[in-house]
Amino acid sequence: MMRGYGFGYNNVMGGSVWGEILMVLFGLAVLAGIVLLVIWAVRALGGGHPQAGVRQPGAPPMRTDGHDEAVAVAKRRLASGEITPEQYAEIMKTLGG
């Protein structure tokens, strides 16, 4: 039994070149999605990047907008007797001030 043109398995979707192009584009989209998913997973699990705002051991003290507030809190605690002058000096050394 002889079949007409376009009814065989020669081309995807009944002989349409557009069908082949769509299949390739869909495959690329799936591949890109998998790559993005892997990148997201690596970043979410730490991926070796230090977390923002976390001081690494041996790193110089961080100075941020909260520095003045931290100094003020340390001064209040010293003045109220919650901490000793030695503890205050250690806090100031840690804060870099």
Q: What is the DSSP letter of 7?
A: S
- Tokens 């999605």 appear where? 33
Q: How confident is the model at residue 18 (pLDDT cuts 50, 70, 90)?
A: confident
**H or E stretch at 33:** helix 17-44
pLDDT, the chain, mean: 77
Structure-token pair, residue 58: 């041996």
For residue 26, count other CB atoms closer than 10 A to its CB: 10
In the chain, how long is the greatest CA-to-CA distance?
A: 101
| Report field, pTM of the whole predicted structure over 0.85 | no
Q: Does the pLDDT of residue 6 top 80, yes or no?
A: no
Q: How confident is the model at residue 8 (pLDDT cuts 50, 70, 90)?
A: low
Structure-token pair, residue 70: 């931290």
Q: What is the mean pLDDT of residues 36-44?
A: 90
